[in-house]
Homo-oligomer: A and B are copies of this chain.
Amino acid sequence: MDKKISDKVINRLTLYHCILDDYITSEIEFISSKQIANLLRIDDSQVRKDINLLNNSGKCRVGYIVKELKKSIEATLGFAKTKNAFIIGAGNLGMALAKYDNFSNYGLNIIALFDNDRSKIGTTINNKVVLDIKKLPNLLRKSNIDIAILTVPKKYAQATADYLVKSEIKHIWNFTPAVLAVPDDVQVWNENLMGNFLQFSYNI
């Protein structure tokens, strides 16, 4: 990115991108900031401000050219630079994420899943194989994996994180409700579903 873009802006740009995707499916050529703003219930001046951060927004007389704006968001957010990931834990959540085809559109390439359950090892989910967790350290050394997506039950979260750290994983996307203790050179991103829920439901 040319300019430092804040987390909130990144989040909104991803949502604009989803909307543009739908417009392309519906074969609509142009979109206005007002249309985006209405769908997301935000101010259209906010939408214009966010889009102004992009290098080439596809602005035209009637709004924005959908395809250009979409490409520009992709370039700015670095979708093009693919990151490889393993999913650790082939339970329902791991399987849901393995099936989530949207990830690959955003540069997240899920290579395989890992589990210790013999009944799951060797099966495939969405063309991704479930491997024995014992093979992880060896495979990590051979492959170019940036991220481990942690979807094991809470009670195994810390032990599995310890194992990932020993296997030299440097980035953990943590979907478990556990707060993980890891060395300083390992990054943990907590997908804090409960925090999100409490923000959402605060006014209900």
A173 within 8 A of B: yes
**Which of A12-20, A114-122, A131-139 is the contact stretch?**
A12-20
Give the oligomeric copy count.
Answer: 2
Q: List A residues 180-198 near B (Cβ within 8 Å).
A: 181, 187-198
Is A143 engaged at the interface, CB distance under 8 Å to the other chain? Answer: no
Option from B93, B147, B154, B200 in Cβ contact (under 8 Å) with A173: B200
Interface size class of A (residues with CB under 8 A): 35 or more
Given A14-B198, A108-B201, A171-B204, 8 other A-B residues pairs in contact with their CB atoms under 8 A: A39-B181, A78-B202, A79-B198, A92-B93, A96-B96, A100-B177, A106-B194, A108-B197
> Which residues of A come within 8 Å of B, CB atoms?
1, 7, 10-15, 18-19, 22, 39-41, 77-79, 83, 91-93, 95-96, 99-100, 102-103, 106-108, 146-147, 154, 171, 173, 177-179, 181, 187-202, 204
